[in-house]
């Protein structure tokens, strides 16, 4: 196994990721197919350090992984992230060992849509129930008031592809 530097990437006709590598201390380049776990689709940036090896038998060269120099996960955690071509963090999903899930940060909270919708509809009903009393008080004081029905529709705020327990 050899540590090498990623120079560039491309896709072959079979849609496999082909990594062009600069071998340490040498001025030659090699290409290798990247091997990754099922369901993982990533593409390394230039200058990442890759672990490169040849397969037994056929002698094909493959990339079996990259050295991550920005590890943040604690034991038991999983973090997936993206960067720009300079390696600056752009987005992440972090499965924390305390049961939390962070999506690009931890400064705010997601909400449970059904619970929020129920609470808001309860508030709308309470306001609607009190509008006749408000109208009666205004009329008794000599004024006029015509209640306008209060409605609420937050269905456009619902994200059907992000689910919580």
Contact criterion met (CB below 8 Å) for 90 and 83: yes
Cβ count within 10 A of residue 32? 20
Residue 99 exposed, middle or buried by CB count within 10 Å (0-12, 13-18, 19+)? exposed
Res 26 pLDDT > 70: no
2-66 is classed in which CATH architecture? Answer: Beta Barrel (2.40)
Give 112-165 pLDDT, tens digit per residue.
999 999 999 999 999 999 999 999 999 999 999 999 999 999 999 999 888 887
Q: What is the pLDDT of residue 51?
A: 92
Domain ranges of the chain: 2-66, 70-108, 113-157
Distance CA 75, CA 68 (A): 16
Give 72-108 pLDDT, tens digit per residue.
999 999 999 999 999 999 999 999 999 999 999 999 9
Q: What is the pLDDT of residue 30?
A: 84
Cβ count within 10 A of residue 6? 21
Res 3 pLDDT > 90: no
pTM, to two decimals? 0.72
């Amino acid at each position: 196994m050899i540590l090498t530097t990623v120079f560039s990437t491309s896709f072959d006709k079979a849609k496999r990721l082909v990594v062009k590598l600069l071998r340490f201390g040498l001025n030659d380049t090699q290409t290798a197919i990247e091997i990754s776990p099922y369901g993982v689709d990533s593409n390394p940036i230039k200058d990442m350090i890759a672990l490169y090896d040849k397969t037994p038998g056929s002698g094909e060269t493959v990339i079996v992984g990259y050295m991550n120099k920005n590890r943040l996960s604690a034991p038991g955690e999983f973090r997936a992230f993206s960067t720009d071509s300079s390696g600056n963090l752009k987005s992440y999903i972090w499965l924390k060992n305390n049961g939390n899930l962070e999506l690009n940060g931890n400064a705010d909270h997601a909400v449970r849509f059904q619970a929020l919708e129920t609470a808001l509809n309860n508030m709308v009903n309470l306001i609607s129930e009190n509008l006749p009393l408000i109208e009666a008080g205004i009329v008794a004081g000599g004024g006029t008031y015509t209640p306008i029905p209060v409605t609420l529709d937050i269905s456009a705020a619902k994200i059907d592809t992000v689910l919580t327990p």
